[in-house]
Amino acid sequence: MKGFWKFFDKLSDVMAALAGILLVFISAAMCYTIFMRFVLRQTTIWIIPMSEYALLWIVFLGTTWLLRERGHITTDIIYSHLNEKTKPYLNGIMFVIGGLTCAALAFFGFLHVGECIAGGVTDVRAVTVPKTAVFIIIPIGSILLTLQFFRMAWSNLIDIRAVR
């Protein structure tokens, strides 16, 4: 099992790096389109839709790594008022809820991608793009998030049992 999680962590690292590369691409592309529009008086119509697609991909490429690193924003209003014995139980509940939510997102994401494939759906704007290419990252990223949430829930359960 350790080999699987080692591979999983490497995959998360690679996906987060790809998210970073996409973010750099978006930034450079926006600078380019501003330069083209205001200096050379030409438009680049493909940059805005491609940047929108890249933003979606960035979210689902990077969130598994961010969750593993515990980099998500948390609301401490309730958490800060709990004693140290209660906090691990709340963490476990939240990890399970997060895992179930991401599993549902993966399920519905696969359904949507299947519909896009069956219908040959495309996004027709400046550039025609198959919607499958845009939305396939949602179920993939959601599956990885589901695994990470349940991994953290399991680890949390082991920590609770060790304290007892």
Query: SS3 for 129?
Result: strand
User: Which pLDDT belongs to residue 92?
Assistant: 93
Give the separation between CA 112 and CA 126, rounded to whole angstroms: 23
Q: Tell me the pLDDT tens digit for each residue of 41-65.
A: 888 888 989 999 999 999 999 999 9
User: Which pLDDT belongs to residue 94?
Assistant: 92
Q: Tell me the pLDDT tens digit for each residue of 11-37.
A: 999 999 999 999 999 999 999 999 998
Q: Identify the residue with better confidence: 124 or 110.
A: 110
What is the average per-residue pLDDT within 72-83? 80
User: Which pLDDT belongs to residue 84?
Assistant: 86
Structural domain span for residue 52: 2-163
* Burial (0-12, 13-18, 19+ Cβ within 10 Å), 28: exposed
What is the average per-residue pLDDT within 127-136? 92
User: Which pLDDT belongs to residue 76?
Assistant: 78
- C-alpha dist (Å) from residue 53 to 5, 31, 131: 29, 17, 10
Count of structural domains, the chain:
1
User: Which pLDDT belongs to residue 77?
Assistant: 82
Q: Confidence class of residue 79 from pLDDT cuts 50, 70 and 90? A: confident
